[in-house]
A and B are shown apart, each in its own frame.
Chain A
Amino acid sequence: MFGLTVWIAMQGLLLLYLQILLLPGIAVWNVTPNLLLPWVIFTIWKKPFINGISVAFAIGLMFDVMAPETFGLHALIFVLTGILIDFLRQPFEADSFVAIVIAIIAANLVYATLNMFAWGLLNGFDWALLEVGAIGLAYNLVFSFTVFWAMQFLSKLRVVITHD
């Protein structure tokens, strides 16, 4: 169990470094896609809930340290997203395509809504915030679908050693 948690944490750390160091390079209209969100969805969907949610909270908190204005926001979003996905996956089969699509859309909606709410409280609500929020939601949705299925594909790869 501990080994699994370490493995999830290593994946999260790698993606966290990528998110901070590389992702700003592909920002569109000042909106940087979130690489950690599809990872949280994937982890909660595929791994044991308590391990996934613990690591997601820790990674969210670490991400927030680099954005101190909204310290705690990503930790909160990741935990709430995790709980939401856990509720969503229970009535479905593990590999249900529809369930995964619903989960990704729901998680992105929660992420976009809470982000807009937090930034609105900080800087005031206006059309510009709504515009950025809409662009961010669209960009993150596309990004989440791509990253989620890339992760699913990678997780199914196996190294097979045969001896003739």
Chain B
Amino acid sequence: MLKRYLVPVVFVLFAVLMLLGTSESRQRKAAWFGRTVLIPYVGSVRSIQSVRSLKAEVYTLQSEITRHQLHNLELTNRLKEYTEAQSISFAHEKSRIVLAELIGYAGAFHERNLIINKGKGSQIKANDPVISPHGIIGKIVLVSDTYSVVLPLNNPQFQLPVMDKATSVQGILQSDISGKVRMNLIRLGSQISVGDTIVTSNLSRLFPKGYPVGRIERIQESQDNLFISAEITPFAQIENLEHVFVLDRKEEG
């Protein structure tokens, strides 16, 4: 009996010896064991705990970075919208400008229309002009409550009176089935040349006068030799649009 419990009694005495004393003395004893015989054990536990706390910190920091990135993105988008709105150069005090985002396309490739995310709810009406900071885009042809369909200038159904910015030579903007934009019905002998800037005409009832349309790339006579036709590269790239502006000109007298 005594022999069986001799070792456990020694353990008990040793444990009581460790327990005796003040809290500081117990901490000193524990620290001594941690620094000497139990150093591999204490080191491994501390390493694992440190790795876990670092992982938690990395996770927190990553969440923080993601949150900041999203905020940054939101601010960048708002800055872009603001910059584009500021860059519209004509006198638009009498017009209300509605910023809209392009959300889709409708129709076959060369006759396709654009769909924007603003509709009757934003007081958009059919025939409202659609522009970008670079040049005209087209006009509204269909309006629903929440979206509208835009007929772009490279659609064969689109027609608009335009003029040479420098000489005020008038013509009609039209597109063919291949998507090429032309200024047609220019009188023979008109002062017009490659590189001239084409703007909206004073004859247009929809668009404000003098808004940029494109630049003349090539000039050729029509087949009946009565008119000149100018091939135009539009300033606004219809394929790469993100935002457009719809002009509400109802307040004009």
B residues within 8 Å of A by Cβ?
4-5, 7-8, 11-12, 14-19, 23, 26-27, 29-31, 33-34, 38, 41-42, 45, 48-49, 52
- Within 8 Å by CB of A65, from B11, B23, B42, B49, lies B42
Closest chain-A Cβ to B186's Cβ sits at a distance in Å of: 81
CB pair A76 B15 closer than 8 Å: yes
- Within 8 Å by CB of A69, from B5, B15, B17, B26, lies B26
Closest chain-B Cβ to A10's Cβ sits at a distance in Å of: 13
* A:57-79 near B, CB below 8 Å: 57, 60-62, 64-73, 75-76, 79
Who on chain B is nearest to A74 by CB? Answer: B15
A-B contact pairs, 10 of them (CB 8 A): A21-B52, A54-B7, A57-B8, A61-B33, A68-B27, A69-B27, A71-B26, A75-B15, A75-B18, A79-B12
CB contacts (< 8 Å) of B48 on chain A: these are 17, 21
Q: Assuming A57-B11, A62-B38, is B27 touching A71 (CB within 8 A)?
A: yes
Who on chain A is nearest to B34 by CB? Answer: A65
Q: Assuming A71-B29, A72-B16, is B23 touching A21 (CB within 8 A)?
A: no
Q: How far is the CA of A82 from the CA of B29 in the complex (A)?
A: 24
CB pair A79 B11 closer than 8 Å: yes
Asked if A53 lies at the interface with its beta carbon under 8 angstroms from chain B, I say yes
CB pair A65 B8 closer than 8 Å: no
CB contacts (< 8 Å) of B31 on chain A: these are 68
Asked if A49 lies at the interface with its beta carbon under 8 angstroms from chain B, I say yes
CB contacts (< 8 Å) of A21 on chain B: these are 45, 48-49, 52
